[in-house]
Structure 1
Amino acid sequence: MTTPTTNPGPEPNPRQLLKELQERFAVFRDCQPLAIGIDKQLQARVPGLDRKTLRVALAMHTHALRYLKTMSGATDRFDLDGLPSGEVTEAHRSHAAEMVKERRRKQADERKLQREAEEQARRTSEKLGRLVDKFGRKP
């Protein structure tokens, strides 16, 4: 696996690293609950990984809605080979479920604000149209 961390050049790219991890390891691709200490397993398997880039890539992965949904109902964690490696505690399941709930609430709030803004823009446009009709110059 060629990672952006082993190539000389600008700052390593966490998104690219995550994409490469998903291509190489089914546990990432399938959004299975990751084993505690998966970062150490990755550093042992993929030499030259930039720790900061790996941390950011793992955070992106574990905060994704798909991963959180999986975690909220999971019982087992998995290592890089897809083998069970510990269990998902009730506290971790509850935390994931709460994050999913919060994310959905925020999305609903954003949709509501968007609809309200669109409705306000429509009313403003109609009002301006009436004013133009009333006060516009007639040929």
Structure 2
Amino acid sequence: MAERRAEDGAEEGSAGGATQPAAADAPAAAPRAEVSTAATGARLAELFPALFGGAPKPLKLRIQVDIQERAPGEFSKQALSAFFRRLTGATSYLVAVSRGKQRFDLDGQPAGELSEEHRQLAADELTRRRANQQARRAQEDAQREQEEAGRRQRFGLLRDFETTKLTTANFCALKGIAPEQLDGLLEQARKEAQEDAARPQRPQHRPEHGHGRRDGERGPRREGGRNEGHNEGRNDGPRAHAGGRRDDRGRPQGPRGPRGGGGGREGGGAPRG
């Protein structure tokens, strides 16, 4: 894929005479190359913002020759080659190539069609990277699950050992472990239990009082255990009878007296002689 990227325009300068750094100098020169690559990219963005100032664009073939002509003496071939190796190997550039139709020059103008071969090569590389990423994630998930299962098993072993009434030999036989392994497993389980206890617990989210009440929920309770608004619409009390039977206003509120003999009216005249 590296050879194909060289043909894709980004490595034209390296194919045309850029030298590779010596293997013996690689460890000492790595930090310097890192700074040089970043500085090269920043300077290119200043000189040619239409091409290097925004999202990656498919580069015109032999773009390094154009840079040397437009900015003579500004960049060494080694610096440009290192920069373009990183640029064309970036996922964002491969995405631009896989979706693009045109290449672009230093002024951001179309400078030739992007071949189907180069688009397919970029798409294949993206597919390969996604597959590798998914494989790494699956491996990490499996390893994490295996570690968690081991911790749970050791914790159960420690819990059972602290409550068992069996001898050590019988306990090991019951658990299917060698007696010489027991102390190491118990020590590791105690250490992991301490780590779990020291790990900060996630706070449980509880809605604040009075907030988040949905429509239809009862309001705050008042004295007597009834909810506010619970009796809305009920025809309780004297006011509710305004349109119906009127209450006996004006009557004495004291207790009624006993009815007279003979079933006379309440509060009627004197009994007949």
The TM-score with structure 2 as length reference comes to: 0.44
Residue in 2 that maps onto 1:128: 154
Taking only the aligned residue pairs, the percentage that are identical comes to: 29
1:104 aligns with 2:126: no
Moved over 6 A (4+): none
**Deviation readout 1:95-135 (Å, 9 max, x if unpaired):** 01111111111111111111111111111111121122223
User: Is the 8 Å Cα contact of residues 27 and 33 (structure 1) preserved in structure 2?
Assistant: no
5+ unaligned residues in a row in structure 2: which ranges?
1-30, 165-273
Q: Report how many residues are paired.
A: 129
Q: Which runs of 5+ in 1 are unaligned?
A: 1-9
Q: Tell me the residue number matched to 1:33.
A: 58
Letter in 1 for 2:50: A
SS state of the match for residue 93, structure 2? helix
Query: Highest Rg: 1 or 2?
Result: 2
Matched, 1:18 2:44: no
Residue of structure 2 aligned with 1:84, choices 90, 103, 110: 110
Q: Determine helix, strand or coil for the equivalent of 2:103.
A: strand
Please say if 1:43 is aligned against 2:68: yes
C-alpha separation in 2, matches of 1:128 and 1:84: 64
1:115 pairs with 2:178 = no
Give the structure, 1 or 2, with the largest relative contact order (CA under 8 Å, sep 6 or more): 1
Conserved in 1, the CA contact under 8 Å of 2:98 and 2:120? yes
What are the superposed Cα offsets for residues 19-74 of structure 1, whole Å, 9 maximum, x if unpaired?
Answer: 44345423232211000011112222332312122112111111111111111121
**Residue 11 of structure 1: CA displacement?**
3.6
Residue identity opposite 2:94 in structure 1: L
Once residues 16 and 121 of structure 1 are traced to their aligned partners in structure 2, the CA distance between those partners, rounded to angstroms, is: 43
Retained in 2: the 8 A contact 1:77–1:88? Answer: yes
- CA drift of 1:136 comes to 4.6
- Answer whether contact 1:18 1:58 (CA < 8 A) is retained: no
